[in-house]
Amino acid sequence: MSCTERTFTFSCSGEALLAILAEPEASGQTGVLIVVGGPQYRVGSHRQFVLLSRALADAGFPVLRFDSRGMGDSTGVFGGFEQIDEDIAAAIDVFFENCPQVERIVVWGLCDAASASLLYWDATLDERVCGLVLLNPWVRSEATLAKTHIKHYYGQRLLQADFWRKMLTGKLGFSSSLKGFISSVLNARQQGKKVVDGKKLPFQEKMARGLERFSGPALFVLSGNDFTAKEFLGALKTEPLWNAIQQRSHVEMVHVDDADHTFSSAVWRNAVATSVTDWLRRRFN
């Protein structure tokens, strides 16, 4: 199956946002919206979003990718991933306008765009969203970063011959290394202040709350060689809410061994495209 692409602009809070729609010859009722985080635009690193949208469209799923306000060729100011609810809502609106056969939307996001996707659902409970595809979600805080460093950096360093060679020859820079380790331990023990007011709740908790309330299928795709993915896996193990969510039947996990944060090789990109396509067909065909 082949697809066609067309470009247009749409309005969001008085700004003009650029979008590209990839349409299959025979379209189903499920569309995929690619949300782009910052500092990125609709093409993606190593043309990832272009290639993914065409692959999914070739499989029968129309795909819309767009530049948020202030990014790429869209006007306005980018306010960060926590401030693009209006952009996502406007993109979904225009998706339905341009693809009348589409009845439901799967939202796809990488890193802080995955976080933005969950935050959007938490804030809006938009019934048009039927599924979520979340790659290496961003849940970073000082505590999660410190725990990840302790487990995956300092732990590995102790097993490396180079570490002991430098230590025994006095080339390690032991003072600075010790300070770094102590700082990580202190940050890992830090307990963030939790505020009852939903507007002041940390974004990580809003994400977890959004997923907890989401009853549709959710697919997580995680890189094997990425600190952001490792931080998220750490949250799944240590945070009760995240841990409970992953046990639910509508939540699936796919691990791409050795992949970096943006799935920069053709093998890793194809693994993502195949995993997402298979999941879409199982869940929505």
**Average pLDDT over every residue of 202-220:** 95
**197 pLDDT above the threshold of 60:** no
Question: Mean pLDDT, the chain, as a whole number?
Answer: 86
Per-residue pLDDT band at 118 (split at 50, 70, 90): very high
pLDDT > 90: what percent of the chain?
A: 71
Per-residue pLDDT band at 57 (split at 50, 70, 90): very high
Domains of the chain from N-terminus onward? 3-141+194-284 (3.40.50.1820), 145-187 (no CATH)
Per-residue pLDDT band at 244 (split at 50, 70, 90): confident
CA-CA distance, 95 to 88, in Å (whole number)? 10
pLDDT of residue 193: 46
**Whether the Cβ atoms of residue 63 and residue 41 lie closer than 8 Å to each other:** no
pTM over 0.95: no
**176 pLDDT above the threshold of 90:** no
CA-CA distance, 231 to 13, in Å (whole number)? 34
CA-CA distance, 244 to 239, in Å (whole number)? 9
**Whether the Cβ atoms of residue 28 and residue 61 lie closer than 8 Å to each other:** yes
pLDDT of residue 161: 64
Task: Give helix 142-149 / helix 227-238 axis angle, nearest 10°.
Answer: 100
β-pairing, 15-24 vs 3-12, is antiparallel
Q: What is the pLDDT of residues 123-175, one digit of tens each?
A: 999 999 999 999 999 999 755 545 544 554 545 555 656 644 665 676 656 45
Q: Find, among 150, 162, 14, the residue nearest to 87 by Cα.
A: 14
Judged by DSSP in three states, 78 sits in coil
pLDDT of residue 208: 94
Judged by DSSP in three states, 184 sits in helix
pLDDT of residue 240: 87
Q: Which residue has the higher pLDDT, 68 or 27?
A: 68
Judged by DSSP in three states, 255 sits in strand
Compute the Cα dihedral for 126, 130, 195, 232 and give only its sign. negative
